[in-house]
Amino acid sequence: MAPFVVNMLRSQLLTSIPYPTSDFSGQTVIVTGSNTGLGREAAKHIVRLNAAKVILAVRTISKGTAAAADIITSCNVPAERVEVWALDMSSHQSIKDFVKRSANLDRLDAAVLNAGVMSYAWSEQDGVEQHMGVNVVGTVLLLKLLHPVLQRSAEHTGSRGRMTLVGSGLMNTANLSDFKTPGSILDKFNEQDNIPIGSYYRDSKLLTFYATRHLAELSPVAETNVIVTVQTPGVCESDIFRDDAGLLKSVAMKASMAMLARSAEVGGRTLVHAVTPDLPVDAHNRFLVDCQISDGAPGIDNEEGLAIAKKWNKEIFELVDEIVGGRA
Ligand SMILES: NC(=O)c1ccc[n+]([C@@H]2O[C@H](COP(=O)([O-])OP(=O)(O)OC[C@H]3O[C@@H](n4cnc5c(N)ncnc54)[C@H](OP(=O)(O)O)[C@@H]3O)[C@@H](O)[C@H]2O)c1
């Protein structure tokens, strides 16, 4: 925990995040969860950087339309440069429909998988806890289905694709014993009271990190011409802390946010960096922190973590295959 806190303080207080300047001319980019927060700021930067089309993938169309209007006005660009598409990350059908629509694009150069939830309240839909449904299963399904779309586009345009998962440095604080079970890891998380609710967010980010890394390992850039990364924006002001966490926690959180947090605009820059057209190939399958390739994550990449990752990746990709095949 101590190295995590030191690194976090160094990152939040002493590191400046570069203003994005790379040119996205002619490119099409998807940003999920972009009606607000970091996603909206990232989309705004990418429009400003001349992207031909930025797709705001949102669960509530009216919120997406309002964000699009704000981006179009502030960047002073023609309205057709920003599109709003429906995507509910808690619905497998919505994700499949979204990918089908994406496959009909003339090109798709980059995707920022940003949509996510953080909550201190138990919430489930059809027996699936919300962090597991949105941050984990929905996100891995989208990652798996969108990768071939980016790959086909890269083949066709000759322009290297980029896909990033917006993760969190909090995954480094996960307690690996949360994942210990003789059976299914998801089943353990989908049953209330097995794990403290406050651990779900960081645990969900770790599970998605392991899955993204597995997909990246199986999809080398030399074969696919698509760079896959996980990145963290650091601690940023946004709507993510919208939940009522109780009085004490809320006061503590507000105080630490005031001291530490980046603005959503600055956080959004890190998302843009992770899909920038000149992202180096050696970023593939790496965790990006402060717009840099990080050294790794010793606390979660030890023998125990790697054994969990192996078991987990088998479970989640089998489930994703069942969802794709209509069997789950
Ligand atoms: N802020 C931070 O300090 C921080 C730090 C590390 C990582 N992150 C990560 O950064 C990403 C963006 O978070 P943020 O801070 O910008 O939070 P935010 O302001 O709450 O934005 C989250 C976005 O995700 C969308 N979303 C949630 N559930 C969805 C669903 N089922 N289907 C589709 N979209 C859904 C939200 O849509 P609605 O508005 O409709 O709810 C919203 O657009 C998240 O993955 C978060 O975990 C944030």
Report the domain count for the chain.
Answer: 1
| Contacts for 305-312: CB closer than 8 Å, 24+ residues apart | 305/176, 308/176, 308/179, 308/180, 308/185, 308/210, 309/210, 309/213, 309/214, 311/185, 312/179, 312/185, 312/207, 312/210, 312/211
How far, in Å, CA of 309 to CA of 146, rounded? 22
Residue 49 domain-assigned (yes or no)? yes
Q: Which of 168, 173, 66 is nearest to 113 (CA)?
A: 168
Residue 145 domain-assigned (yes or no)? yes
Taking only the tens place, the pLDDT of each residue in 145-200 is 999 999 999 999 999 999 999 999 999 999 999 999 999 999 999 999 999 999 99
Residue 210 domain-assigned (yes or no)? yes
pTM metric for this prediction? 0.96
Name the active-site residue from 201, 210, 219, 238: 201
CA of 236, closest atom in ligand 1:
3
Residue 106 domain-assigned (yes or no)? yes
* Ligand 1 geometric centre to CA of 212 (Å): 18
Residue 16 domain-assigned (yes or no)? no
Give strand pairing partners of 195.
none
Supply the range of the domain harboring residue 126.
Answer: 2-10+22-324
Residue 17 domain-assigned (yes or no)? no
**CATH number of the domain enclosing 98:** 3.40.50.720
* Ligand 1 geometric centre to CA of 116 (Å): 4
Whether residue 203 is predicted with pLDDT greater than 70 in this model: the reply is yes
Alpha carbon dihedral 159, 97, 41, 245, in 10-degree steps, equals -140
Residue 15 domain-assigned (yes or no)? no
Residue 63 domain-assigned (yes or no)? yes
Report the interhelical angle of 139-157 vs 92-103 (nearest 10°): 0
Taking only the tens place, the pLDDT of each residue in 281-322 is 999 999 999 999 997 777 788 999 999 999 999 999 999 999
